[in-house]
Amino acid sequence: MPIKIYIDGKYYEKQDAKISVFDHGLLYGDGVFEGIRAYNGKIFKCEEHIRRLYDSAKAIWLTVPISEDEMAVAMYATLEVNKLKDAYIRLVVTRGKGDLGLDPRKCPKATVIIIADSITLYPEEFYQKGLEVVTAASPRIAPESLSPRIKSLNYLNNILAKIEGIQAGCIEVIMLNHLGYVAECSGDNIFLVRDSQISTPPPEAGILEGITRNTVMDLARNAKYPLVERNLGRYDVYTADEIFLTGTAAEVIPVVKADGRRIGDGKPGKVTRDLRKRFLKLVGRD
């Protein structure tokens, strides 16, 4: 079924959904976004996603032209218009139409875009057999330069790392921070398991605190798994018993090889399988 896209309060057919070529989101990547899942007609962690979007906007001096409550209503309406129950929602707020200069004051009003469509996950075989990843040479931008807590439209840093993975025959990569510690992947957060203890990089490592990440951490604590946030190096990656990634699209997915080293026994581990099962039960996909 053709999808309808929300732009500034109106719905457009996909082929007619357009923004100005002078929009600073296009010209400079000046804007913020959220990737959100809907399960059985309910938007997963809707309030948390909207709050993060508005916090990101505030951090870059961008005024979202509708309220948080209105944004939630618009997202649910977009699902309804498209007759979708299970979907991926891309919520975008750009700086809006301006001129060819950088000055954000030349953009009088932000543009709000909501896209809802069916979700394409990693192929099922990767959930059953696990992913292979490589470490990207491109490091994460230093948090002193650009806070990773701002989910901005400028994803070139991640895209360059993703390209390295594609060239190595992998669909995901591990990104290190400016100090050489593990930060995150190009589109997912990362967890290691060693002797049943779960470790994940802390916020100060330069990560985006993923909402799925935080949800899985809560699930792990409720299941009484020891869990710590600490700096991790490539040695920790190579010697882990298990590795798994979390993200809105990925949910919980195992990694079985990193930089050519087999992780554990080369199969998805029991902690990973258990947490994936708990997550799917939480969202009603068990």
Residue pLDDT, tens place only, 264-277: 999 999 999 999 99
CATH number at residue 162: 3.20.10.10
7, pLDDT greater than 80: yes
Which of 68, 83, 117 is where one domain is finished? 117
Confirm if 113 and 83 have CB atoms less than 8 A apart: no
Q: 78 and 162 share a domain?
A: no
**Counting beta carbons within 10 angstroms of the beta carbon of residue 68, is it exposed (0 to 12), middle (13 to 18) or buried (19 or more)?**
middle
Question: Hey, how many other C-beta atoms are within 10 angstroms of the C-beta on 40?
Answer: 10
Q: 109 and 249 share a domain?
A: no
Q: 170 and 246 share a domain?
A: yes
Q: What is the mean pLDDT of the chain?
A: 96
**Domain hosting residue 24, numbered range:** 4-117
Distance (Å, whole) CA 53 – CA 224 = 31
Residue type at 136 in one-letter notation: A
Residue type at 276 in one-letter notation: R
Please name the residues in contact with 5: beta carbons below 8 A apart, sequence gap of 6 or more.
11, 12, 13, 14, 17, 78, 113, 114, 115
Residue type at 194 in one-letter notation: R
Which of 60, 84, 117 is where one domain is finished? 117
Tally of domains in the chain: 2
Q: 34 and 140 share a domain?
A: no
Stretch 106-134: mean pLDDT: 94
pLDDT for 64: 98
pLDDT bucket at 168, cuts 50 / 70 / 90: very high
Q: 109 and 19 share a domain?
A: yes
Which of 78, 98, 117 is where one domain is finished? 117
1, pLDDT greater than 90: no
Number of H-type helices and E-type strands within the chain: 8, 15
Question: Hey, how many other C-beta atoms are within 10 angstroms of the C-beta on 276?
Answer: 21
Condensed to tens digits (0 to 9), the pLDDT of residues 203-242 reads: 999 999 999 999 999 999 999 999 999 999 999 999 999 9
Q: What Cα–Cα distance (Å) separates residue 95 from each residue in 25, 31, 102, 109, 282?
A: 6, 5, 11, 7, 35
Please name the residues in contact with 170: beta carbons below 8 A apart, sequence gap of 6 or more.
131, 132, 133, 134
Q: 68 and 188 share a domain?
A: no
120, pLDDT greater than 90: no
Please name the residue ranges forming H helices in 18-136: 24-28, 46-59, 68-81, 124-129
Q: 105 and 220 share a domain?
A: no
pLDDT bucket at 175, cuts 50 / 70 / 90: very high
Category of 202 on φ-ψ map: left (φ > 0), alpha (ψ -120 to 50) or beta: beta
Distance (Å, whole) CA 100 – CA 160 = 25
Residue type at 117 in one-letter notation: D
pLDDT for 8: 98
Q: Which residues are catalytic?
A: 151
Strands 251-258 and 131-135: parallel
121, pLDDT greater than 90: no
CA atoms lying within 13 Å on the CB side of residue 16: 8
Indicate the SS3 state at residue 35: strand
pLDDT for 9: 97
Question: Hey, how many other C-beta atoms are within 10 angstroms of the C-beta on 52?
Answer: 20
pLDDT for 2: 81
